[in-house]
Amino acid sequence: MSLRPALPETCVGLFMVGFAAVVGAATAAIPDSAYARVGPAVIPWAITAGLVFFGLLLAIQGLRGGWDHERDTQFDLRSLAWLGAGLILNLLLIDGVRFGETTLVPRVGFILSSTVMFFCTARAFGSERPIRDGLIGFTLAIVAYVGFDRVLGYQIGSGLIERFL
């Protein structure tokens, strides 16, 4: 067994211990109930304990050389940036962003924000045909909207394009 510590795996373990601390703090905040024999905090404490225990085990495994996983693959950061941009733009645009009374980002609705997301995703997967991607994304978003909002009866809400459908 290699005894050279593996930094990423150790960090994963420590991250889990940190996460367990957050869960533990949230558990401590659960008020106890006098009615139930097993209060609402009992299982959450067990979960906290489990997370601490396995987080520590992961960290120890990390210090003892880590475990087998995708180590060597170089991530395509440009692709991830495009995809991340698509997801974040979708979050901002779908419902707009308001701060008190002022509108920081206007609400454009599902169809246009999804078209933007589709466009960015296609870029992330190496497409170099922006016009095709935009058109297909737009069409697919309309199909999804009509299918879910009109046929299945979900409430997707209105937007710049939705109001004309």
Partner 1 sequence: MDTFGNLMQGFAIALTPINLMWCLVGVAVGTAIGVLPGLGPALTIALLLPITTKVDPTAAFILFAGIYYGAMYGGSTTSILLNTPGESASIVTSLEGNKMARRGRAGAALATAAIGSFVAGTIGTIGITFVAEPVVNFALKFGPAEYFSLMILCFITVSAVLGNSAVRGLTALFVGMFLGMIGVDNQSGQLRFTFGIVELYDGINVIVVAVGLFAIGETLWLAAMPKEKEEEPLAIKDSIMMSREDWRRSWKPWIRGALIGFPIGAMPAGGAEIPTFLSYSIEKKLSEKPEEFGHGAIEGVAGPEAANNASAAGVLVPMLALGLPTSATAAVMLSAFQSYGINPGPQLLSTNGALIWGLIASLYIGNVMLLVLNLPLVGLWVKMLKIPAPLMYGGILIFATIGTYGISRSVVDLILLYSIGVMGFFMRKYDFPTAPVIIGMILGPLAEMNFRQAMTISQGSFSIFFEKPLSLFLLMLTALALIGPPIWSYLRSRNRVAGA
Binding to partner 1 by residue 44, rule CB under 8 A? yes
Instruction: Give the separation between CA 109 and CA 45, rounded to whole angstroms.
Output: 42
3-state secondary structure of 26: helix
Binding to partner 1 by residue 156, rule CB under 8 A? yes
Report the site for partner 1 in 101-120 (rule: CB under 8 A): 110, 114, 117-119
Angle 129-131-134 from CA coordinates, rounded to 5°: 105
Binding to partner 1 by residue 59, rule CB under 8 A? no
Size of residue set near partner 1 by CB under 8 A:
73
Instruction: Give the separation between CA 3 and CA 14, rounded to whole angstroms.
Output: 18
Angle 151-153-158 from CA coordinates, rounded to 5°: 100
Binding to partner 1 by residue 2, rule CB under 8 A? no
Q: Name which position in 18, 65, 104, 125 contacts partner 1 (CB under 8 A).
A: 125
Closest separation in Å from C-beta 43 to partner 1: 5
Q: Name which position in 1, 155, 163, 164 contacts partner 1 (CB under 8 A).
A: 155
Q: Name which position in 65, 69, 106, 150 contacts partner 1 (CB under 8 A).
A: 69
The phi-psi region of residue 57 (left if phi > 0; otherwise alpha if psi is between -120 and 50; otherwise beta) is alpha
